[in-house]
């Protein structure tokens, strides 16, 4: 019997052409150069601040500062002018890009209802802008809640507390009231950014924490000085209210040394909170105020939030945008006075 045997012959793969080799070497060098550039170049870029003043130097003469833990906080206060034996403490929380300046039209009039405390949230106004801290990140939501808690310890003690929060400050006020209903007797939310939120999404946080990106972060947010003007213009229904003096008041904190680094840390800070998913837990009596022409936190969003809360009343102020306490202060104060009288 004759066997047939087939032999498999393995041929060596043909060598790459010189062109392919050169392409591979070039691609590898390009990749390595890109990696090196990403790792090294950000640390070679000069990062400086446009601010030239400390917080105390930039603030108005006679400005008030209080030490709260490791933080120096800028506050504005107005003493109660009424006759009640135990007036409440009314605490004002401003929104993104604002400061106590935002409450200038209503701080003194609100003193007819209680002692008033307005403060600058971290990264804004003339409150200290730390670059290092122990414990909670002062720029994130948990850090803001901790600061508010400490301020109530200092100014309210065992007294009744009314929180008034505007926009992003409304989120902090509402979340605090949800978590600490025993400490808050009433809540006023002005165009609150509760259903409409901003800031970096949680999934982006690890990327923002990369040292190279963190290094360049302050440069990335310097554009806030110009874009801030545009946002401010969009916040008013009546452009005549936005005078040069108002613009100057909003820009004043941008003279503080290191404002860019603080704003970057605010941008990268954790925004985690469970408010929007747990609105049923917010049972504190609440007044919601919005302008009928708000394009920053849409009027419809505030109306929707009012419908979702079990103990809420809604006032829509006509001919007003995102800042009714600035644009229509008389109507704003009337809404509060009427609500206080019914409580």
Instruction: Please write the tens of the pLDDT for every residue from 105-114.
Output: 999 999 999 9
User: Per the domain annotation, does 95 fall within a domain?
Assistant: yes
Sign of the torsion angle spanned by Cα atoms 47, 74, 122, 245: negative
User: Per the domain annotation, does 38 fall within a domain?
Assistant: no
Domain that holds residue 240: 55-342
Report pLDDT digits (tens) over 24-59: 444 444 444 444 334 444 444 445 678 899 999 999
Strands 64-68 and 71-78: antiparallel
Report pLDDT digits (tens) over 125-142: 999 999 888 888 999 999
Report pLDDT digits (tens) over 285-307: 999 999 999 999 999 999 999 99
Average of per-residue pLDDT across 232-236: 95
Q: How far is CA 3 from CA 6, 9, in A?
A: 10, 19
User: Per the domain annotation, does 28 fall within a domain?
Assistant: no
| Number of domains, the chain | 1
User: Per the domain annotation, does 33 fall within a domain?
Assistant: no
Residue 75: strand pairing partners: 64, 119
CATH of the domain at 321: 3.40.50.1820
Name the nearest CA neighbour of 52 among 253, 224, 242. 253
Residue with tokens 């929104």: 95
Question: What local confidence, expressed as pLDDT, does residue 43 receive?
Answer: 43
Separation CA 268–CA 139 (nearest Å): 9
Which alpha helices (H) appear in the chain, and where do they start and end? 18-44, 55-58, 107-110, 141-155, 168-179, 205-208, 211-220, 224-235, 244-251, 259-268, 299-308, 324-327, 329-342
User: Per the domain annotation, does 36 fall within a domain?
Assistant: no
User: Per the domain annotation, does 32 fall within a domain?
Assistant: no
User: Per the domain annotation, does 156 fall within a domain?
Assistant: yes
Separation CA 53–CA 335 (nearest Å): 39
User: Per the domain annotation, does 146 fall within a domain?
Assistant: yes
């Amino acid at each position: 019997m004759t066997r047939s045997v087939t032999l498999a012959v393995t041929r060596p793969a043909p060598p790459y052409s010189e062109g392919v080799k050169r392409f591979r070497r070039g691609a590898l060098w390009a990749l390595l150069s890109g990696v090196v550039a990403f790792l090294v170049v950000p640390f070679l870029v000069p990062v400086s601040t446009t601010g030239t003043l400390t917080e105390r130097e930039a603030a108005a003469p006679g400005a008030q500062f209080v030490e709260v833990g490791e933080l120096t906080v800028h506050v504005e206060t107005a003493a109660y002018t009424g006759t009640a034996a135990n007036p409440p403490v009314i605490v004002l929380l401003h929104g993104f890009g604002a400061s106590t300046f935002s409450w200038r039209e209503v701080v003194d009039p609100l003193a007819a209802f209680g002692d008033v405390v307005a403060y600058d949230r971290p990264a804004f106004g003339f409150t200290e802008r730390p670059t290092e801290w122990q414990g909670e990140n002062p720029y994130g939501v948990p850090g803001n809640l901790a600061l508010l808690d400490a301020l109530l310890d200092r100014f309210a003690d065992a007294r009744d507390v009314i929180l008034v929060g505007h926009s992003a400050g409304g989120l902090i006020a509402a979340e605090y009231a949800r978590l600490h209903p025993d400490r808050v007797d009433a809540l006023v939310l002005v165009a609150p950014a509760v259903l409409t939120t901003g800031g970096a999404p949680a999934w982006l946080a690890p990327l923002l924490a990369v040292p190279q990106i963190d290094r360049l972060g302050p440069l990335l947010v310097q554009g806030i000085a110009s874009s801030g003007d545009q946002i401010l213009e969009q916040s008013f229904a009546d452009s005549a209210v936005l005078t040069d003096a108002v613009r100057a008041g909003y820009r004043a904190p941008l003279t503080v040394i290191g404002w860019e680094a603080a704003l970057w840390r605010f941008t990268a800070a954790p925004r985690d909170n469970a408010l929007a998913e747990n609105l049923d837990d917010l049972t504190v009596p609440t007044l919601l105020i919005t302008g009928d022409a708000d394009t920053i936190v849409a009027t419809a969003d505030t109306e929707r939030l009012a419908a979702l809360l079990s103990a809420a009343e809604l006032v829509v102020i006509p001919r007003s945008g995102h800042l009714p306490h600035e644009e229509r202060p008389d109507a704003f104060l009337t809404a509060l006075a009427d609500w206080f009288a019914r409580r």
